Chain A
Amino acid sequence: MGRTLTTRLLMLPLLLWGVVTLVFILLRVLPGDAATLLTVQVQSQTVRDQIVAELGLDRPLIEQYALFLGDMLRFDMGVSYISGRPVTELLWRSVPVTVELAVMSALIMGVLGVSTGMLAAAFRGRWPDLLIRSVATILFSVPWFWLGILLIVIFSVHLGWLPSFGRLPPQVDYQPITNFVVIDAILTGRPGLIGHWLAHILLPALTVGLTTAGFVTRITRTAFLETMVEDYVRTARMKGMGSWRVFWMHVFRNAALAIVTIFGLMFGAMLGGSVIAEVVFSYPGVGRQMIDAIFQRDYPVVQGGALVVAGLYILVNLATDLSYALIDPRLRAS
Chain B
Amino acid sequence: MISHLAARPVVAVSWTVVALVLLAAVFAPVLAPFHPIEPAGSDRLLPPGAPGHLLGTDQFGRDVLSRIFWGARPVIIISLAAVVLAVGIGFAVGLVAGYLGGWVDMVLMRLMDVVLAFPLILLAIVIVAALGPGMVNVIIAIAVSQIPIFARLVRALAAREARKDYVLAAQAGGFRSLRIMAREIAPNVVGPVIVQASSTVAVAALFSAALSYLGLGIQPPTPDWGYMVKEGQELLFLSPSAALVPGIFIAVFVTAWNFIGDDLRDVLAVEEVR
Contacts and interface: CB of A to CB of B under 8 A. Distances in A.
A32 B126 CA distance: 13
Interface in B118-138: 118-122, 125-127, 129-132
Given A149-B244, A276-B213, A138 B255 contact: yes
A23 B126 contact: yes
Contact of B214 (A27, A146, A150, A279): A279
B255 A144 contact: no
A292 B247 CA distance: 23
Interface in A251-269: 268-269
A57 interface: no
- Size bracket, chain A contacts: 35 or more
Contacts of A244: none
Interface string A118-151: 0000000000000000100110111111100110
B27 to A, nearest CB: 25
A313 B118 contact: yes
B254 interface: yes
Contacts of B158: none
Interface string B93-126: 0000000000000000011011101111110011
B118 to A, nearest CB: 5
B247 A146 contact: yes
Nearest to B145: A272
B120 A272 contact: yes
Nearest to B213: A145
Interface stretch (B42-50, B167-175, B235-243): B235-243
Given A31-B131, A143-B254, A145-B229, A272 B122 contact: yes
Contact of B122 (A141, A146, A306): A306
B240 A157 contact: yes
Contact of B121 (A14, A15, A31, A276): A276
Interface string A293-313: 011000000100010011001
B202 A18 contact: no
Nearest to A144: B210
Contacts of A21: 114
Contact of A310 (B117, B127, B237, B258): B117
Nearest to A133: B262
B192 to A, nearest CB: 16
Interface in A1-48: 2, 11, 14-15, 18-19, 21-23, 26-27, 30-32
B201 to A, nearest CB: 11
Contact of B131 (A30, A268, A276): A30
B251 interface: yes
A190 to B, nearest CB: 32
A14 to B, nearest CB: 7
B258 A149 contact: no
Interface residues of B, number: 48
B259 interface: yes
Q: Is the interface of A mostly helix, strand, loop or mixed?
A: helix
A14 B232 CA distance: 45
Contacts of B259: 137
A149 B244 CA distance: 8
A138 B251 contact: yes
A159 B206 CA distance: 28
B266 to A, nearest CB: 12
A106 interface: no
Nearest to A29: B130
B262 A19 contact: no
B210 A143 contact: yes
A275 interface: yes
B215 interface: yes
B209 interface: yes
A307 to B, nearest CB: 10
Interface in B218-253: 226, 229-230, 232-233, 236-237, 240, 243-244, 247, 250-251
A31 B129 CA distance: 11
Nearest to A152: B236
Given A269-B119, A313-B117, A313-B119, A143 B250 contact: yes
B236 A141 contact: no
Interface of A: 2, 11, 14-15, 18-19, 21-23, 26-27, 30-32, 134, 137-138, 140-146, 149-150, 152-153, 157, 222, 268-273, 275-276, 279-280, 287, 290-291, 294-295, 302, 306, 309-310, 313-314
Interface of B: 10, 110-111, 113-115, 117-122, 125-127, 129-132, 202, 206, 209-210, 213-216, 226, 229-230, 232-233, 236-237, 240, 243-244, 247, 250-251, 254-255, 257-259, 262, 272, 274
Given A141-B255, A146-B250, 18 more contacts: A14-B110, A15-B117, A18-B111, A19-B117, A143-B247, A149-B233, A268-B118, A271-B122, A272-B122, A276-B214, A287-B122, A291-B125, A291-B214, A291-B216, A294-B216, A309-B122, A313-B118, A313-B119
